[in-house]
């Protein structure tokens, strides 16, 4: 993960956060949390019938996932296959969020949120000192 790219992406969608001293591991956690938050907020906007806000929030969630995808670095990974699979998953998630936005489909938002939760659980299980050493 390119920490500066992740930092810029997080600042775009969450400019009030104090992230200047966050580790690369924590930056990824913040991005994952931010994506999940935006999807939850988008579902709320959809339920209220606020279609414009729903679209804005899904756009922000999509931007976060794109930021996560862009931060992948197969060259620094022990498993290029893992990075390629994660990249494919991020592409799938962004495509599904665009479909959810187009069709006002809360079930698709839930599907993508569940996938992102799974990624976040895996990321959270990484020991930060070990992550910093890689």
pLDDT tens digits, residue range 70-105? Answer: 989 867 767 888 899 999 999 999 999 999 999 999
Per-residue confidence (pLDDT) for residue 12, from 0 to 100: 60
Write down the pTM of the prediction. Answer: 0.81
Q: What is the architecture, at CATH level 2, of domain 3-124?
A: Up-down Bundle (1.20)
The DSSP 8-state label assigned to residue 92 in this structure reads H
Task: Tell me how far apart the alpha carbons of residues 119 and 35 are, in angstroms, rounded to a whole number.
Answer: 12
Give me the torsion for CA of 125, 128, 129, 131, rounded to 10°: 80
Per-residue confidence (pLDDT) for residue 6, from 0 to 100: 58
Q: How many CB atoms are located within 10 Å of the residue 76 CB? A: 10
The DSSP 8-state label assigned to residue 126 in this structure reads S
Residue 16: band (very low, low, confident or very high) from pLDDT cuts 50, 70, 90:
very low
Percent of the residues in the chain that have a pLDDT greater than 90, as a whole number = 63
């Amino acid at each position: 993960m390119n920490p500066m790219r992740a930092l810029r992406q997080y600042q775009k969608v969450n400019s009030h956060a104090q992230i200047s001293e966050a580790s690369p591991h924590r930056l990824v956690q913040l991005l994952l949390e931010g994506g999940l938050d935006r999807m939850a907020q988008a579902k709320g906007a959809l339920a209220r019938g606020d279609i414009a806000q729903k679209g804005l929030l899904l756009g922000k969630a999509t931007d976060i996932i794109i930021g996560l995808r862009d931060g992948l670095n197969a060259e620094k990974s022990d498993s290029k296959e893992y990075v390629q699979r994660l990249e494919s998953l991020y592409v799938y998630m962004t495509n599904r969020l665009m479909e959810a936005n187009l069709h006002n489909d809360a079930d698709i938002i839930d599907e993508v949120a569940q996938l992102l939760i799974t990624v976040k659980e895996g990321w959270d299980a990484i020991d930060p000192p070990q992550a910093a050493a890689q």
